[in-house]
Structure formats: C-alpha cells, structure tokens
Amino acid sequence: MSDLIAAVATAPGAGGVGILRLSGPGAARTAAQVFRPAGKISLMEAPDRKLLYGSILDKEGRVIDTGLAFVSRGPHSYTGEDTAEIQGHGSPMVLSLALEALFAHGARQALAGEFTKRAFLNGKLDLTQAEAVIDLIHAETPAAARQAAGRLEGTLSRTIAAIYDGLVDLSAHFHAVLDYPDEDIDPFREETIRTALDEALVGTDALLATYDRGRQLTTGVPTAILGRPNVGKSSLLNALVGYDRAIVTQIPGTTRDTIEAKASVGGVLLNLTDTAGLRETGDEAERLGVARSRAAAQEARLVLLVLDGGAALTPEDREAIALAKEAPACICIVNKSDLDQVLDLEALGRDFPNLCLVSAKNQSGLETLGPMVARLFPTGDGGEGEALLTNARQMEAVQRAGENLRRAREGLELGVPPDLLLSDVENALEALGEVTGTTVREDITSRIFQRFCVGK
Ligand code: GDP
C-alpha cells in the first residue's frame, strides 16, 4: 500500500471551494503532476506554504479547473510528513477527477482520520488534541467549539502533564531508593510522598468533576419532553429544532415511539426526546411507547413538562407533573398561549420556578426558554482556558489514575512496603498516559481515528 495518501478534504457536494490533500513521501511530486503553475516556480521548488496559482489537471493532463496549490514539507506540516494541498472550485466532478489523477500518480485514498492519525503518530498532536479536532468539526454550540479549540491548543494536555510530571518525580525517587539502596539518597520522607500523592489526587478529582459539563458540551443534555397526548410536545420539538422532525396531528397518541433530535437552546445543546404522551392505553404499540417515555423521563437530566394552557388539568397531566418533579431539572412549558388560558399559573409556579408560556404552533414565547436552560446548565466561560474531560475514554482513564493514587495514599498510612506504593503510582502514570496517548493501546487509537471523516 502506498504511503502517500490523498483525499478530498472539503465536505461532499457543490461549494465555493474544494480542497484536495496529500500527505506522505512524494507529496509534492505527485501534486505537481496534477497542478500546473501559471508562473515559473513549480510545486517541487516552491517554498513551504507559498500559494501558487495555476491549472488543475485530470489524469490525462487535460485542464479541468484553475486554482491554488501549496506544499508544506515535514516535519513542519499538519501530519509531520511532506504534504500538499490543491484548492479548486467546489465541484464534485472536478474534485473526483483530480483525485483520480492523484491516484494515477501514486497516491492512494486516505482512510477516515488518517491525516490526523499520522499527525498523532508523528508527535504533532497528542490524543486529547486529536479528539479535539473531531469535536471541533462536530461542535453544535459556540461553547462546544470554543472548548474544543482550547483542547486543540493543549489545555487538557497541559493539565494532565502537570499531574503526570509530579508523579514521575515521585516514581523516580522511589526507584532511586529501591534500586540503589547503598547510594546516599534522601531516604523516604513520608511527608513528601503524602504531599505528592495528595496533589495528584486533587488534580485527578478536579478533572473528574469537569466530566458532566464536558460531556454536556459535546453530546448534549439528555432532555425529555413530557406531557399527556395532544398538549403540543411534537409541535414544541419541531419549533425548537427548527424543522418538522415530529408529526403533529390532532389525534392523541400519534407519537407512539420516542423521537430524538438535537437543538441548541440558550447556547446549550439539548438531546431532545419527544416521548409518547403519558396515558394508559390498550394499544400495544402505544403502551410500549408510554413505557419508553417514562424511562426517558427518568433518565433525563432535564424535563420539559408541557401542559395545555387552554384546558384544565387532567389526571394524566398530574401524572406527568409528578414525574417531572422527580427530574434533576425541569422547565414547565404552558403551551397554547394563543388560546383562552384556564390553568392556575401561580400554583404551577410554586411547583416549577422555571415556568414559561408559549405557543409552539405560532412559535411565540420560546425565546424565554433559552435563558432558563442557560441558567440551569451553565457552560462556564465555554472556556478556551479550562481543561474539561469530554468523553468516556478520558474519564475512565482519569478515574483509574485516581483509584490507584487513592490506593497508594491509603497504603502509605498503613505502612505498606514502598515497592507496592510504587506499583500503584506507576499504574496511575500509565492511566494518565492513556489520556494523552503516551501509553495508549493501538486498538484504542484506531477506534478513535475511525470516528473522523475522510480527508481529516
Ligand atoms: P403532542 O401529542 O403532545 O405531541 O401534540 P402535537 O404537537 O401533536 O399537537 C397536538 C395538537 O395541538 C395539534 O393539532 C397542534 O396543531 C395543536 N397545537 C400545538 N401547539 C399549539 C399551540 O401553541 N396553540 C394551539 N392553538 N394549538 C397547538
């Protein structure tokens, strides 16, 4: 298999600009077969990152577009290898012909994430930064984008490195004492070890405490839309996502299964589940839907309780209210504000301090929802500067590091032998190394890069 990889880096479909990327040995030579500069300098001789204007050629050497190209030689490139980029118009036909031409001249199709994987293997990025690349590409809120940009720049790497370095010092000290007992090395000072372990534990605990917020930024807050049939749950979901995701009908029980959609509300990403209306039913399919809606409400971190402001509360409404009260966070949405209102808002307000009056059908009043969601789920400063754990892989590794440190800490108090303490410290180091990728297993890295799109 050729080591020179190529791919279209821009999204599929027609657009203003389309970019082809190459990385690996001979990147400039192959790119030069497909790009003919208008000026005298060829791509092979061009200085790094100097844009040349010229023609893009198909594999027979016929002109198919005009555009720009540059080379960026390793190690000062994204992947750390020799790379080249050709930028043409965003025409799927042109891009596919040009890519075919690159293949004819020795490149092969890049796999998903292969450019970033090479950057990782060549030490240009650590694993948290590589994950930040994919999070940045998929960011659905401004805060998520800022947070990923911060991680790409190294916020999480630096926080992990600080804990890691402290433990390396400690481990080195253990080794010195254990391996060279005859040398004149400072004997173990319990207090020093205690302090070092405590500092590391403070660090891992603080990181673990960020996980909920980090996950919230990248995957969204699990949110259930709850209410009896026909109060307007599907209409609300459609209004929030901005398109008709759910069917809206006048027949109660239309949403039999749960429908899921993402929406950014108040700058917070919500993972909305439109549940089947809560009511007892003889219909088997609907009964399953009702059971699922109860489960969704119980798993949710936010419940959007929907009531029909134009109708008196029914036993089913009361059941929904009872379920909503148990949720970790709830916003009561009194819908159909365009109709004559019969509900006692004051009484409802006592149960639900977060109460808003909307008309999902007319899309009015929904603007009050954003600030409530933002208050309930603050994204922090969205923080470029703040290190957050954003996925289960990172969280699990930091948790394992913490467990080993805690064991070492307890062992110290119980007077266990230093070599056992050392083994706990080394396990903690290995777990922390997994977060940044210094000690991570190949199968895990492969899984991470498979999540990327081709061309990144
Ligand atoms: P669901 O069963 O709770 O999902 O309710 P739907 O969203 O399917 O809506 C049930 C009915 O209520 C439909 O006929 C909607 O057009 C209507 N509806 C929804 N929102 C409003 C609203 O704000 N005002 C009025 N007047 N009708 C609404």
For 206-227, what is each residue's pLDDT tens digit?
Answer: 999 999 888 888 889 999 999 9
| pLDDT score for 275 | 73
Contacts of 59 (CB under 8 A, 6+ apart): 97, 100, 101, 104, 105
- Residue 311 burial class via C-beta count within 10 angstroms: exposed 0-12, middle 13-18, buried 19 and up: middle
CA of 235 to the centre of ligand 1 (A): 6
CA 87 – ligand 1 centroid, Å: 49
Q: How far is the centre of ligand 1, averaged over its atoms, from the C-alpha of 343 (Å)?
A: 17
For residue 32, the model assigns a pLDDT of 97
Q: How far is the CA of 206 from the centre of ligand 1 (A)?
A: 45
| Gap between the Cα atoms of 43 and 29, Å rounded | 8
Peptide bond into 75 cis (omega under 30): yes
* Angstrom distances, CA of residue 122 to CA of 37, 133, 155, 435: 30, 16, 20, 17
- pLDDT of 336 reads 96
| Closest C-alpha to ligand 1, atom 2 | 230
pLDDT at res. 437: 87
Q: Which of 87-96, 327-336, 439-448 has the lowest mean pLDDT?
A: 439-448
Asked if residue 133 lies in contact with residue 393, where contact means CB atoms within 8 angstroms, the answer is: no
Q: Is the pLDDT of residue 186 over 70?
A: no
pLDDT of residue 373: 95
CA of 236 to the centre of ligand 1 (A): 8
Q: Return the bridge partners of 270, or none.
A: 221, 263
| Residues 192-208 pLDDT 10s | 889 999 999 999 999 99
Per mean pLDDT, which range of 270-284, 298-312, 333-347 is the poorest? 270-284
Nearest CA to ligand 1 atom 10: 230
Closest ligand 1 atom to Cα of 306: 3
Q: Of residues 363 and 37, which shows the higher confidence score?
A: 37
State which of 361, 366, 369 you would mutate to test the pocket of ligand 1, scoring each by most atoms of that ligand within 8 A of its C-beta: 361
Give the per-residue pLDDT at 417. Answer: 84
Which residues contact ligand 1 via a Cβ below 6 A?
227, 229-235, 248-250, 254-255, 277, 335-336, 338-339, 359-361
User: Residue 385: its pLDDT value, please?
Assistant: 74
Average pLDDT over residues 367-373: 94
Question: E strands along 311-402, which residues?
Answer: 330-335, 355-357
pLDDT band with cut points at 50, 70 and 90 for residue 418: confident
How far apart are the CA of 232 and the centre of ligand 1, in A? 4
Residue 263: its H or E element: strand 259-265
Pocket test for ligand 1, best of 225, 226, 230, 256 (most atoms within 8 A of CB): 230
Verdict on whether the full-model pTM lies above 0.75: yes
Give the other-Cβ count within 10 Å of 94's Cβ: 18
Q: What is the pLDDT of residue 187?
A: 57
For ligand 1, mutation pick of 248, 259, 286 (most atoms within 8 Å of CB): 248
pLDDT at position 334 is: 97
Structure confidence at residue 170 as a pLDDT band (50, 70, 90): confident
DSSP classification of residue 359: B
Cβ-Cβ contacts under 8 Å for 382 (sequence gap 6 or more): 142, 143, 144, 146, 147, 217
As a whole number, mean pLDDT of residues 250-268 equals 71
Confidence at residue 383, expressed as pLDDT on a 0 to 100 scale: 52
Band of the pLDDT at 122, cuts 50, 70, 90?
Answer: very high
d(CA 226, ligand 1 centre) in Å: 14
- Strand ranges of the sheet holding 35-37, from the earlier edge strand across to the other edge: 35-37, 52-57, 63-72, 83-90, 15-23, 5-8, 108-109
Q: Kindly list the distances between the CA atom of residue 14 and the CA atoms of 11, 19, 165, in Å, as whole numbers in the listed order.
A: 9, 12, 49
Spacing, Cα 410 to ligand 1 middle (Å):
59
- Per-residue pLDDT, 293: 66
Which of 84-88, 214-218, 316-320, 444-448 reaches the highest mean pLDDT?
A: 84-88
Closest approach atom of ligand 1 to CA 249:
8
Instruction: Give, using CA atoms, the residue closest to atom 9 of ligand 1.
Output: 232
pLDDT at residue 175, as a whole number: 74
- Give the residue with greater pLDDT, 285 vs 418: 418
